[in-house]
Each structure stands twice: as C-alpha cells, then as structure tokens.
Structure 1
Amino acid sequence: MSPITESLPDRPLSSSEIHALEAQRDAYGVAPVGFAPDRDIVVAFVVIVGGERGHSLGFDTDAEQWVVVESFEDGDDFSAVTERLRSWVGDDWDEELAEENRG
C-alpha cells in the first residue's frame, strides 16, 4: 500500500467524505472522477498534493483497497490524466455496477 492510500478506508468513499477532502484545499486538491450516485460512492479521484504532484487513485475491487493508478507532475495534461483514470474505472467497475443495476 502506498503512503497516499494508507489513510483511506478499505472501501469506496462516500460523497460526503470526498466533500470533506475537497474542503482541505490548502493541503491538496481533490477531483472526483468515478462517482456512482445511485450508490453514493466515489471509486476514483485525482488528488494534487502541494500544487505540484498529483496521483490518480482508484478502489481496486479485487484487492479491496485503494491503489495509485498513476502519479504525475504539475504541468502534465490534466484532462488526459482524468481520461486514463476514467478508463481504469470502466475496466474495474463496469461489470459490478451493471450487476447492481440489474437488481
């Protein structure tokens, strides 16, 4: 487990937990990427630490823990970073979310 993921629970975050992280903008910035509103869970987000280094984080359903999907430096193409994380979310979560929606 990475130091960036150690303080996260062994489950996806709720929207209120993401809002609490966003409220701490002085320390870091948070951008949710994988949000399932019907379940009120955030399965992936990007965090920017100190305005210089960023990490894409995702909840790995097989390992049941948060993983660093990608690390990047300030100046990298943020839209490309979020698009790669969305792709990762699809790989890990599409089937599980589809099963729940079937009922």
Structure 2
Amino acid sequence: ELHLSELAGFHRSPAAQAQSGAPRAVPAPPSPPDAVAPEGERPRLPRRRKQQHLVPELRTDPPNRTRQEEEFSHHDPGLMAAFRRGTSLADDTDDL
C-alpha cells in the first residue's frame, strides 16, 4: 500500500483516473535548474518541448496509407454537385 509521502513530486492525471477508474500517479514536470532568478528579476519562463502534451503513441508519425485509403481520399467535385442537384429537386417538388 502506498503512503502519501511516497507520492511526493507526483500529481494525479484526470485522464488517467477516468481510464483506469483508479487514481494513477504521474510524474510532475521537472522544474528547470535555471529557474532561480537573480535578486530583483523575474525567473525565466519554462521552455516548451515539441509534442510533450501528447501520449507516447501519438508522438510518432502516422503509418503510411494503404492503396485502398488513397483511392477514397481524392476530391470528387461531382459528388457535391450531385448532392446539390438532389436537394434542389427535392425543394422544387410539392410532395409535402
């Protein structure tokens, strides 16, 4: 069983609690060593790190598309034209 003193430096992630149902300890972000400011000055702001907010599974590039996905991903201007033509025909009929 964990004691609160063992969780020093950790905070509970709401997303982790929602997924597992139980609280899960997540390490707190490290404070930069140069955050101490000279007397009379403000401390330096933390620097952003790319994709730090993403889960590890999403930090890598997505897998390449398959040939079937590429066939359906092209733009078809006739599709929208057919949709508009159909809605116009429906508006013109008085079958209410």
The answer to whether TM tops 0.5 is no
Structure showing the higher strand proportion among its residues:
1
Q: TM-score, normalised by structure 2?
A: 0.25
**Higher RCO by CA contacts (8 Å cutoff, separation 6 or greater):** 1
Give the number of the structure whose alpha-carbon radius of gyration is greater: 2
Structure showing the higher helix proportion among its residues:
2
